[in-house]
Every structure is written in structure tokens, then in C-alpha cells.
Amino acid sequence: MQRRGLPLTLTTRVTLFAFLFLTFPLFADNEYPADFKPSKPAATGETNVLARFGAVTTYMNDKLNAAGGEKSPQCYRNCLTVGVNDVLKCIEIKNTYASSEACEKDGAQKMSLCDPKCQ
């Protein structure tokens, strides 16, 4: 009985690691995707956190237009929407421009993983 528990535990660990690796791929230094244009802080004064949301929605629109706009697959549009919704939740918690850079990066990275052909 003891012997059976160990392989199940090992199998569970391997499966969990594979799932997490595929779900949350590693990006070099937690950077933006190559085709993403990050938001820029204002030259003077304080930048509104919504600038980050604007950069992410622009990225989403660019990706949608490249995939055919309204003719793009529904699953692709859903995938992009998840990234945008995550950014909204995150900037609601980290409600300053300075503290919300990770929200913008994470949302852009999630959207960059969406497959326009849903394969």
C-alpha cells in the first residue's frame, strides 16, 4: 500500500508541473511581448492608471484586426477578453500607475499566447 502512494504522488507532481508550465509560460525577465507598445508615463504630473488599460485594449484591437476583426473565431476573442478582464481586476487593486506595471505586462503576455486559429 505504501508503495502505491508514492507513484501517485510523483505522477500528480509531474502533472501539476506540466499544467502550470503550459498555463503560465516563462517570459524572459517578465517583459512585454515583442509586438506590444507599453503605456508611457506623462512627462509631468501623475499618470492615470487607465493609461495601462488603454495600452492593453489597443493591443487587443490590433490583434483582433490582424485576425479578421469580427470574422475572427469566437474562442480567440474570448481568449483576448480574459487578458483584458485580468488587467481590469489588477488595476482596480493596484490603483496607481507606478504600482500597476505588472498588470499591463501580465495581461499583454496572456493575450500574446492566444491562438488566432484556436488550435
pLDDT in tens, 52-89: 999 999 999 999 999 999 899 999 999 999 999 999 99
Percent share of the chain, pLDDT over 70: 75
Tell me how far apart the alpha carbons of residues 39 and 67 are, in angstroms, rounded to a whole number: 23
Residue 16 pLDDT class (50, 70, 90 cuts): very low
Other CB atoms within a 10 A radius of the CB of residue 76 amount to 18
Tell me how far apart the alpha carbons of residues 110 and 85 are, in angstroms, rounded to a whole number: 11
Burial class, 86, CB count within 10 angstroms (exposed 0-12 / middle 13-18 / buried 19+)? middle
Among 23-32, 55-64, 96-105, 107-116, name the one with the lowest average pLDDT: 23-32
Which whole number is the average pLDDT over 113-118? 92
User: Which segments of the chain does DSSP mark as H helices, in order?
Assistant: 2-23, 50-66, 74-93, 101-112
